[in-house]
């Protein structure tokens, strides 16, 4: 919507103007603060945002983090940095198979690294900017 301001006349340090058919009277001092709002809005020329591989990767990674179980896994990992599959499953009250499936998908997309300790597979949180920003977003 465009703001159109019709200025009528000045008298004794007051400005008389009309906006949408309503007549107003304001001091000249007020006019200086109104100059920026009285201009007609110009159309903005927006930059083109093409879909590229980097953007697709970010969308996929953010989509993975949107699952409630994965958010719980991430919050646990942000707190402890490293945990084994069985410990995560116990903490979340879910089966090892289900947690293992989620962790494998997240590992494949750069959230975690794995290490074997005896017969256990443990996951270590990747230290990168994406995970640090995600921590601020989902876990406060």
**pLDDT tens digit sequence for 5-59:** 444 444 445 555 555 555 555 555 555 445 545 556 788 888 888 888 888 887 8
Q: What does the block give as tokens for 137?
A: 């977003």
Domain 67-138, CATH:
1.10.10.10
What residue spans define the domains of the chain? 1-56, 67-138
Q: Which two tokens stand for residue 122?
A: 């443990």
Structure tokens at 67: 């699952």
Nearest to 32 by CA among 13, 18, 19: 13
pTM over 0.75: no
Give the whole-angstrom CA distance, residue 112 versus residue 91: 18
Rounded to whole angstroms, the Cα distance separating 102 from 111 reads 11
């Amino acid at each position: 919507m465009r703001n159109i301001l019709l200025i009528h006349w000045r008298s004794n340090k007051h400005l008389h103007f009309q906006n949408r058919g309503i007549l107003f009277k304001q001091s000249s001092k007020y006019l200086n603060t109104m100059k920026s709002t009285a201009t007609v809005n110009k159309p903005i020329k927006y930059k083109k945002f093409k879909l590229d591989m980097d953007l697709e990767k970010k969308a996929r990674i953010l989509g993975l983090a949107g699952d409630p179980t994965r958010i719980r896994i991430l919050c646990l990992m942000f707190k402890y940095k490293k945990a084994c599959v069985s410990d995560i499953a116990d903490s979340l009250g879910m089966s090892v198979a289900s947690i293992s499936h989620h962790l494998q998908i997240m590992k494949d997309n750069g959230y975690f690294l794995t290490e074997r300790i005896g017969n256990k597979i443990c996951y270590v949180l990747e230290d990168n900017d994406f995970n640090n920003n995600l921590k601020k977003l989902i876990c406060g």
